[in-house]
Chain A
């Protein structure tokens, strides 16, 4: 095996078609889409085409797609942009305690500005409790932000039900979904699910880095957080990143081409992987073992082996995974998600995340399992006291 890349929740390899179209745009169709001449018009076509492609996958209007620099900016714009534009109606926001920092940090920022934030807890599978959501909704709630798929354990939130509860109890509150880990892995139809805003990142779906988008239902009142030349109806100023947008279009097209088949295949690989992992003594899978979670993420706790050490031991075999907690070696900043799920304290620092993609093969998983069978007993001989 030359390389086994199992960190697809961090980022993915580009599809060759993505790289090809980006090269073409950078070298040939390099115009500024705002320019009035032909070069500008050509560039603008890529943006329009990408909007159409995305809009089709979501069954929304292409006017409701806004390009951003990525998932983080989309989350920031959705949360801060709607909070500020609607603060006269209320200052209460609901989110979960297992969101990505791109959601949690804007929330903290708003908290300092006088907003009140409620954080929903999760069960042992990493999912929110719908009755807790229902009880948290108030007349002054203006926004609910819930992720589609948790990036650390792959739990998929019950968004259909959440959407229904929000719309029936607080019809005026907006529903934002961070779908960075979910888009391209599950069918998401915002209008049917009551979702008003949804963030997506390009490089998690084999597209380029530095691009993402925010779906904004046309009825949503939102204000910009960056100001400038008034591009994208003034909601997101700045010359559009045309090469990346063209690349994103290709990525979306490819991902959706065989979505059902690919997702089914991912579930099978995941199941095969998990079955193999559970052969190792004292190994636990965090979150659900069934197909009610994301098809590509496995969170794995290996008792008695520190995640960082396991990560580097796998790295020596050219297998790339992620340490479950982004734990800086010396100060133990343990994963909030794992803690909220009630994972045992001694396992927090022994958790790695494995994440698959359409490029992952059964042979790679077989090889990885073999390596794990070899190295885990070896690493367990040397535990820290």
Chain B
């Protein structure tokens, strides 16, 4: 029976004069997400509300699923709307609505009317009472409960009259594109896709970089990262995924630096490379999946040592999460199963048995001096041979 959705958004509502920018971005993002659905839709913005109208046949469940990927939406309400043809006609529509949406009538309800069009003959209180009476008359098994109703029936009197009672939670956050772009370091693990999701949720567009180390990492490991980027792009929109061949740098570090500092030094160079690409692509920050203390390279000391090479902000949204917490998010956004596929990535392949957990920055820097003769050229080559693919969720 539903052919339209009322889109609720939370934080945008409190924005001041920029509000329209956020709303327009949300409309854009909704249109983009709905391209993946069967059928065609009209997305319109009226009086501080966004409505999605299905034009003809559409798949209800699929449409809801896609809307759930649009940041900025706090709730999705399947809505029925009618022209104002007097109260009696409205009463019939409402009875029909209740009958179809709630086949089981043993429920309590409350009517929550709102009158945006003040010239409607009944005021809010009267509307609540009269509509309640009509429902009770049609379905004597139903009861009114104004404190804890099973059904909250919303009625909005505007240029048309809108009826809805279900609010399906959306992902929240802010529409992508309202807050610049950042470069995600995507490894293939559980945390980095989660980190990308969380930053994107604040309206940030994503690019991503992956460090590939053939023959130590396989084509499948690379494909896995592409797949993860695609899953994240359901939320973030298209991602430019930059693939860097990191083998020679890794081998140089391996040959010239102490093995227990391998991971830290490697990560410092990864950050440097990511930052360089970020600058070239107008990104305003880096994103990593690091979480304090999770592994040797993510202790406070290690983060201090890694962060030292970065001049742009590094966003680490997983920083305070326990593993289980990021697992839960990855399950929610459907990246978990892909993340746990057992292909080696460049972080695990050369890891020392006992890596330093409290690296000393001065010592690390001194050891990096061993690379002085080769590293500039290797970095240059890694950057100039990068492969870039555009990853997006196809219909």
Residues 195-226 of B, flagged 1 when their CB comes within 8 A of A and 0 if not, give 00000000000000000001111110000000
Given contacts A328-B342, A329-B342, contact A385 B352 (CB under 8 A): yes
Residues of B within 8 Å of A382, CB to CB, are 251, 254-255, 350
Given contacts A382-B350, A385-B259, contact A329 B344 (CB under 8 A): yes
A312–B215 contact, CB under 8 A?
Answer: yes
Contact count band on B: 10 to 19
Residues of A within 8 Å of B353, CB to CB, are 385
Kindly state the separation between the CA atoms of A309 and B348 in the bound complex, as whole angstroms.
Answer: 13
Kindly state the separation between the CA atoms of A32 and B259 in the bound complex, as whole angstroms.
Answer: 65
Minimum CB–CB distance for A162 against chain B, Å: 38
| A308 at the B interface (CB under 8 A) | yes
Residues of A within 8 Å of B350, CB to CB, are 382, 384
| A331 at the B interface (CB under 8 A) | yes
Residues of A within 8 Å of B216, CB to CB, are 309, 312
| A345 at the B interface (CB under 8 A) | no
Instruction: Tell me the chain A residues, 365-385 only, with Cβ under 8 Å from chain B.
Output: 379, 381-382, 384-385
Residues of B within 8 Å of A314, CB to CB, are 215
Residues of B within 8 Å of A309, CB to CB, are 215-216
Minimum CB–CB distance for B174 against chain A, Å: 37
B214–A329 contact, CB under 8 A?
Answer: no
Residues of A within 8 Å of B344, CB to CB, are 308, 329-330
Given contacts A308-B344, A331-B342, A385-B353, contact A315 B251 (CB under 8 A): no
Kindly state the separation between the CA atoms of A101 and B69 in the bound complex, as whole angstroms.
Answer: 42
Residues of A within 8 Å of B315, CB to CB, are none
| B162 at the A interface (CB under 8 A) | no
| A316 at the B interface (CB under 8 A) | yes
Given contacts A382-B251, A382-B350, A385-B259, contact A315 B342 (CB under 8 A): no
Residues 330-345 of B, flagged 1 when their CB comes within 8 A of A and 0 if not, give 0000000000001110
Residues of A within 8 Å of B215, CB to CB, are 309-316, 379
Which of B215, B251, B343, B349 has the most chain A CB within a 10 Å cutoff? Answer: B215
> How many cross-chain pairs have Cβ atoms below 8 Å apart between A and B?
38
B255–A329 contact, CB under 8 A?
Answer: no
Closest B residue, CB atoms, query A379: B215
Residues of A within 8 Å of B255, CB to CB, are 381-382
Instruction: Tell me the chain B residues, 271-317 only, with Cβ under 8 Å from chain A.
Output: none
Residues of B within 8 Å of A312, CB to CB, are 214-219
Minimum CB–CB distance for A321 against chain B, Å: 12
A316–B214 contact, CB under 8 A?
Answer: yes
Which of A314, A315, A379, A385 has the most chain B CB within a 10 Å cutoff? Answer: A385
Residues of B within 8 Å of A379, CB to CB, are 215
Kindly state the separation between the CA atoms of A309 and B255 in the bound complex, as whole angstroms.
Answer: 18
Residues of A within 8 Å of B342, CB to CB, are 328-331
The one of B219, B259, B349 that contacts A315, using a Cβ cutoff of 8 Å: B219
Minimum CB–CB distance for A6 against chain B, Å: 16
Residues of A within 8 Å of B214, CB to CB, are 312, 316
A329–B251 contact, CB under 8 A?
Answer: no
Closest B residue, CB atoms, query A314: B215
Kindly state the separation between the CA atoms of A88 and B344 in the bound complex, as whole angstroms.
Answer: 50
Residues 108-142 of A, flagged 1 when their CB comes within 8 A of B and 0 if not, give 00000000000000000000000000000000000
10 extra interface residue pairs, beta carbon distance < 8 Å, beyond A379-B215, A384-B350: A308-B344, A309-B215, A312-B214, A312-B216, A312-B217, A330-B342, A330-B348, A331-B342, A381-B251, A381-B255
Q: List 23 A-B contacts (CB under 8 A).
A: A308-B344, A309-B216, A311-B215, A312-B214, A312-B218, A313-B215, A315-B215, A315-B219, A316-B215, A328-B342, A329-B342, A329-B344, A330-B342, A330-B344, A330-B348, A331-B342, A379-B215, A381-B251, A382-B255, A382-B350, A384-B350, A385-B259, A385-B353
